[in-house]
Structure 1
Amino acid sequence: MRSAAAFDSMSSPSSPDPDSSASGSPLFFLLMMALLLAVWGLISDVINTGDGGSIDLRNRITGVRVASAHQDPYTYQWRQADGTERLDPFSYPSSPVSHTTVTPATLTVFLPFKDLNYRVTQWLWLGVQYAALGLGFLAWLKSTDRANWAWGGLLTCLYCLTPHWRLHVDRGQSYVLYAALLLLMMNAGRSAGKRGLWLEGLTGALLTMLRPNFGVLLGVSAARRGKVPILAAGAGLAVWALLPVLMAGTAIWKQYFAAMAIHARQYLDRVQFPPARFSLKEGIEGIPIGKFLNDTRIPFTDTSIYRLVSFQLPPNPLLIGWAVLAAGAGWLMMRRDGAGSARFQWGVSAWIYVGDYLLPAYRYNYNHILLWPVLLLGLTALKGTARKVWMGLTAGILILHTATWWLPKACLPWPGVAALLLAAGVAVMTALTSRKAAAG
């Protein structure tokens, strides 16, 4: 139980030696080196974006274009008469569902890009991803001790060196938005006054509508036991459920859930479809088809729990069990520290990350950006020896994730497994220390 005792010392962040953030310290040198390498990574992202087709961004854009015409974006099959504006070259013609798998609320986020040329959208989305990374980091800075800034910056730069971030940007993914919004919500939750509670509730509701496993955040508003947080969460749910209906029609949510059931079944049954065939002479919105098919050779693999255990687990009991355990752990943490404490927020972020592995869908390396809030919030929640242990663990796991560039193919799941174990350890440890306090 020594580990539990160590983590039981969590409260406000500690103040390490003043020299730890001085310009002549080893930490500052490491931060500058990591920052320079991260700039090199940004240059690589610019090159990859110019050479590729941001294939996951493509199905968001085609999806919102189809949805805004009041057609089903989740079962849409492209026809040549529709023009290349709706063509996603990675949707399978023989599949009953399209490649668009994001929620209707997420499609609504992409509505401002609907009428833009796709190449312009690619460059804008590259900027959006980096802006989200920066804004999420700034939100964390506002809610943590100054002594944590340099180490948090180092962790963020180290993550930017991993192939996971390269893949995220290359594919045009949106998980960094979820991570940034989570950090924004956590910062709002630690602010005094009704404004912070409103922002916390609205952001939690938005995240719930963007990705289902963030639904545990609704429990944060419920844990507040006040009118303002509950009203904020309720208003947020209503707004983000209604906006897609105004854009795409009343059937959009029903279409989404029906399509996701098919996708889940296909994934668990490992159904494969032949890809669509296109001539390399064809272009999509002025972009040669070869650009979309360009392989940037970034290592990645499926790290969902179902893939890791050879599809031997049923998803529904796992998801229900996860939701019950997350709710129970949240209740225990709330009784000890309150819904706005650093430890409560740290534990919630860990439960969200664990839940991401349990969704019956492909889970590629770009999902690992959801670990970033867990790493940063741990610095805020810990002090003393426990904080130093956490610093070592976080640095070690990010070095392992960076090493994915050179791992053999059979070892590619290892960083994902290590991240899952780390988050699960945080989830369990925060619950155990809360239970000890509650029992006392």
Structure 2
Amino acid sequence: MLRWLLVVAAVTGILIYAINRDIHYEKAYNGDLRNRVTGSRMIKDGRSPYFYKWKTGDGLRYYDPGNFDSVRPSNMTSTPVLYRLLSPLVEQPEARISEYWLVIEYLMLGAITLFAFLTAPTTARRQAVVLVFGAVLLTNGWKEHTANGQTYLCIPFFAMLFLVFWKKKDHPANAILAGCAAACLILIRVNTLLFFPPFWLLVQTHPRRWWLFFCIPMALFGGWALTSTHERGLWRDYFSNVNEAIRINQNLHPAIQHNDPDPRYPRWEGIDTLEADHYMKTLPAKIYSENGNFFVLFQGVFHRQLSVATMGWLSFGGIGLLALLFYFRCRPFEAQDTPWVAIFGFCLFMIADLFSPVYRHQYYTVQWILPLMLAATQLSPRKKAGYGLLLLCLLLWCFHLPFLKMQNTLAEYGILAVLLAMALDLRTFRTQNPPPVSLPK
């Protein structure tokens, strides 16, 4: 009981501090949220956002101060499906949407934490989940995510929803809901497809009928995308935008054009630019961000630029070797292996993410929230070294050390390495862990 009191008191204090801090960030203007709003509005209006540039006379509906530059593609770089998911919010003024989105971010984090808490079979593991929740609120990734109004938290959220319905294999409706969550996950970030192949190792744990119903949502979306001229055009423009983003980030002579200048409205959709500037100058906590891409590290060490093709071959070569090692080292797989299969799948996806030719800012790292919480549900005294290293990496994310360069990147690669090592040691976990409890029905 005393340990619970200490854990709850510490995390409650962190939560109160974090909410007040993040409200301040939100008032300083969520720049990245705006391009999600304008992109969603354009798709609702039957237009494509991916190469749109504001012109004099367009009004405020598509106005975004971050979309004024000299390149051809717009800064609306999310998938059509993400824009459609946001569409219920976007008819509100920007200031109101920003407030709503901060609440939604906390609700998504709370849902992921609750899922892990209910999955953890012992008191110590539940306490570990709560402590991970508290630590996440202090990380640079979470701070930058809320400060920019980013949407990367949707990745662990939809992966969590998939796992919720994956556990419930007694009714076709659960298979359909799992398929919907999986479809949303893939269609808001295409390389999350790598999260799912490890689950094929658990195919025998679910009846064939379950898998049939699971495939229905993606099949329906595929049919709609193929038969809808507008939807095909959106995806074509999206991938063209991605290619242009790669050219911009890799200095490969991106397309340049003349665009109208920013009219610099002092007030628009509830945003007072002077007030936002005041909040920006008085931030309650500094955010330390860096780009953790492999090509950034390679260039820093060897002073040479990796080609996009080389990044792709290194990424998928490493993913393939790890997948084979996981299969031959850990088979046969059983239902109770689901947490580690999910963690391993997440690591595969994050390897592709780290080898991306597009710069990864610190808000990308919130994607690690789910695998870290899943690891907490499997806490084991016999794995003190691994969990100690994970704790150290979390602390590196939370507290800035001026003498340590690329601190956030060191922490992220450390988490990847430790989680991979622990997943590849799955046989040891089988011999010492009780099977996890099921979620309440």
| Class of the TM-score when normalised by the shorter of the 2 chains | 0.7 to 0.9
Whole-Å separation in 1 of the counterparts to 2:424 and 2:291: 29
Partner of residue 417, structure 2: 424
User: What letter corresponds to residue 31 of structure 2 in structure 1?
Assistant: I
How far apart are residue 383 of structure 1 and its match?
A: 2.8
Secondary structure class of the residue paired with 1:416: helix
1:407 aligned residue (398, 402, 407): 402
Give the match for residue 284 of structure 1: 268
CA distance in 1, matches of 2:131, 2:122: 14
Percent identity between matched residues is 19
Per-residue CA deviation, residues 12-47 of structure 1 (Å, 9 max, x unaligned), is xxxxxxxxxx2x13x642542233022111111112
**Shift in CA distance, 339/360, structure 1 to aligned 2, threshold 3 Å:** farther
Give a deviation string over 1:34-78, Cα, whole Å, max 9, x none. 33022111111112212x221111000011112222222111111
Deviation of 1:200 after TM superposition, in Å, equals: 3.3
Please state how far the C-alpha of 1:135 moved relative to its aligned partner.
0.7
* 1:39 partnered with 2:39: no
Structure 2 equivalent of residue 254 of structure 1: 236
Matches within 5 A, 1:122-271: 122-147=98-123, 148-194=125-171, 196-220=174-198, 222-223=200-201, 224=203, 226-240=207-221, 249-269=231-251
Deviations 1:75-132 (A, max 9, x none): 1111121112201111243111111111111111111122111111111101100000
Task: Give the Cα–Cα distance (whole angstroms) in 2 for the partners of residues 54 and 333 of structure 1.
Answer: 46
Alignment of 1:312 with 2:306, yes or no, is yes
Q: Which of 354, 359, 362 is the aligned partner of 2:356?
A: 359
Match status 1:375 vs 2:372: yes
Instruction: Give TM-score scaled by structure 1 length.
Output: 0.82
- Partner of residue 17, structure 1: none
The letter of the residue matching 1:381 is Q
Classify the secondary structure of the residue corresponding to 1:113: coil
- Tell me the amino acid that sits aligned with residue 352 of structure 1: F
* 2:377 aligned counterpart, secondary structure: helix
Q: 1:122 touches 1:172 (CA, 8 Å); kept in 2?
A: yes
Of 10, 30, 37, the residue aligned with 1:61 is 37
Aligned length: 409
Check the 8 A contact 1:78/1:86 in 2, yes or no. yes
Q: 1:395 to 1:432 in 2, by over 3 A?
A: closer
On the 8 A contact 1:90/1:99 being kept in 2, the answer is yes
| Contact 1:38-1:158 within 8 A present in 2 as well | no
Q: CA RMSD in A?
A: 3.2
Q: How does the TM-score come out when normalised to structure 2?
A: 0.82
Moved more, 104-113 or 341-350: 341-350
* Alignment partner of 1:99 is 2:88: no
2:79 matches 1:84: no
What per-residue deviation string (whole Å, max 9, x for no partner) do you get for residues 339-398 of structure 1?
A: 662322222222233332122212111111112222211123353311x33442232212
For the residues of structure 1 that align with 2:245 and 2:197, how far apart are their CA atoms?
Answer: 28
The equivalent position to 1:392 in structure 2, one of 368, 383, 388, is 388
Give every structure 1 segment of 4 or more consecutive aligned residues whose post-TM-superposition deviation is greater than 6 Å.
242-247, 270-276
Query: Does the 8 Å contact 1:354/1:420 carry over to 2?
Result: no
Q: CA deviation at 1:322?
A: 4.4
Contact 1:306 1:312 in 2 (8 A): yes
- Pairing partner for 1:113 from 89, 113, 120: 89
CA distance in 2, matches of 1:271, 1:407: 36
Q: Which residue of 1 aligns with 2:25?
A: 48
Secondary structure, in 3 states, of the residue corresponding to 1:90? helix
- After TM superposition, give the deviation of residue 415 of structure 1 in Å: 2.2
| Gap change, CA 1:29 and 1:244, over 3 Å in 2 | farther
Q: Give the Cα–Cα distance (whole angstroms) in 2 for the partners of residues 230 and 111 of structure 1.
A: 30
Deviation at 1:149, TM superposition (A): 1.1
**Structure 1 contact 55–171 (Cα < 8 Å) conserved:** yes
Question: In 1, are the aligned partners of 2:169 and 2:210 still within 8 Å (CA)?
Answer: no
Q: What is the CA distance between 1:239 and its match in structure 2?
A: 4.4
The answer for the alignment partner of 2:302 in structure 1 is: none
**Contact 1:339–1:345, Cα closer than 8 Å, also in 2:** no
**Contact preservation (8 Å) 2:7, 2:130:** no
Give the distance between the partners of 2:97 and 2:366, measured in 1 at CA: 22
Alignment partners' CA distance in 1, 2:343 and 2:41:
38
1:328 positional shift: 2.9
Corresponding letter in the other structure for 2:41: R
Flag structure 1 segments of 5+ consecutive residues without an equivalent.
1-21
State the AA in 1 paired with 2:366: I
